[in-house]
Structure 1
Amino acid sequence: MIKALLFDVFGTVVDWRQSVINQFNQFKFKTQIKGDWEKVTDLWRQNYQPSMEDVRSGKRPWVNLDTLHKESLVKIIDEMQIQGVKEDDLDQMTLYWHNLDQWSDVEDGLNKLRSNFTISTLSNGGTKLLTNLSHINNIKWDNIFSAENFKCYKPDPKTYLGASDILGHKPNEVLMVAAHNQDLQAAKSCGLMTAFVSRPKEYGENQDFDLKADENIDISATDFIDLSNKIV
């Protein structure tokens, strides 16, 4: 029996891509600094997984996602030869990830799920980042679990098993909810139940992956409302 839900956040709960693009457009309007900011956004996200690899492999001591995000952004802006971006600008841009809008179905879906289950985040984002996103979107999580809690990034088993242990549940009593099959496969290998939520435009109009759940995923839903209807 499912007793608790863990939610991936970037892409699953919040629309990171359009939110970051919107903030870059505001920066462009304010500063008149020219650049292909939509491309910067996409490259920034493409650097997300690679930026964590040295930490995952042990080649680098633990650093949180804000540090990795800023390092990736500096590299991208340099490679794209965008001129005029100051250090303070880079710091503010890094905080764009603290200010992302939720998908339209999240509020109603979580309200229904919260009345029946413990709901918590399980994200590679830092605790401050996740707290800020919760406040901005008025999401009332029962717990905020971050990679910072375990000093390792998903898909390390310590994240899934650590969150389950803190909740006081067996892994098969916990449902991992995500829009990404890789995340769900890692959770499943740790014994958690899994639910795929479709976000077909997370990466834009031409997204061609994570459009549907892998065959062995336990539950597939079109959005959070559909998920709540299937498990409540």
Structure 2
Amino acid sequence: MLEPTPQVLAFDVFGTVVDWHGSIVREVRAAYPQVDADGFALAWREGYRPAMARVARGELGWTRIDDLHRLILDDIAPRFGLGDLGEDERAHLNRVWHRLDPWPDVVAALHRLRTRFTLCTLSNGNIGLLADMAKRAGLPWDCILSAEVFRAYKPDPATYLGVASTFDLQPSRVMLVAAHHDDLEGARACGLRTAYIERPLEFGAARPKDVSPRAGNDLHCRDFAELADKLGA
């Protein structure tokens, strides 16, 4: 068992908890069969970091992820033959991010982990998005924390240290669980414990991720079930 034992497990959400790529592909294929759904999902996600960088540089004021997703959607829609979508259709499509499905191992393992740890999100997604997602998918969070709470996007230290402050804990009593090494590096730099989760199909079967272990993480797990095993839940 890790020493000191973490009290709070904070979870990255997009890609770690939920399958954003597969979920978007399924919904776009059903609604717009003429669209390259795989390319559309990837293009939408590729706009994510540049959009957040505009906020970080001050080009945009504080902007929720829902609104950044809409800016990206409006930009890419014409490239995929969706430039004529009306406002109601655009608004509904933009909320696909509220309807993402969890990976198959997630829900049961979270219930196991919740018997021993406090579980919270630490996502760049906004609170309304994360709450809708949790309600739909049955994600048993004790608390929903978001970049929206801290007015800073990961990997800003304010996000990681904000979790520890919220629960009045030393950073070492918080563990970030994520499928992204840059996120985990940011957490470690702030004194948090870290667990890497393999999500080789995050970007789809045609673009498998390298999920080999890297030094520095406290745990490296195939999925959430293995995380629960290793943490004794």
Same fold (TM over 0.5): yes
5 Å-filtered alignment, 1:1-232, equals: 1=4, 2-28=6-32, 34-232=34-232
CA contact (8 A) 1:181 1:213 kept: no
The two structures, once aligned, show a CA RMSD in angstroms of 1.3
Instruction: Output the CA distance in 2 between the equivalents of 1:108 and 1:82.
Output: 38
- Aligned residues: percent identity? 38
CA shift for structure 1 position 179 = 0.5
- SS of 1:12 mapped into structure 2: coil
Provide the secondary structure at the position in 2 that maps to 1:25: helix
Q: CA deviation at 1:9?
A: 0.4
SS of residue matched to 2:144: strand
**For the Cα contact (< 8 Å) 1:44–1:73, is it kept in 2?**
yes
Q: In the TM superposition, what is the alpha-carbon distance from 1:181 to its structure 2 partner?
A: 0.4
In 2, distance between residues paired with 1:151 and 1:117? Answer: 26
TM-score (norm 1): 0.94
Q: Quote how far apart the aligned CAs of 1:54 are.
A: 1.1
Q: Which moved more, 1:74-83 or 1:135-144?
A: 74-83
TM-score by length of 2: 0.94
Partner Cα distance (1:35, 1:84) in 2: 13
How many Å apart are 1:83 and its aligned residue? 4.5
Q: Which range moves more in the overlay, 54-63 or 64-73?
A: 54-63
Where do 5+ consecutive residues of structure 2 fail to align? none
SS at match of 2:103: coil
Shift of 1:205: 1.4
Aligned positions, number: 228
Give the whole-Å Cα distance in 1 for the aligned partners of 2:82 and 2:134: 32
Unaligned runs of 5+ in 1: none
Per-residue CA deviation, residues 133-162 of structure 1 (Å, 9 max, x unaligned), is: 110111121110011101111111000001
Distance in 2, matches of 1:19 and 1:204, equals 10
CA contact (8 A) 2:24 2:37 kept: no
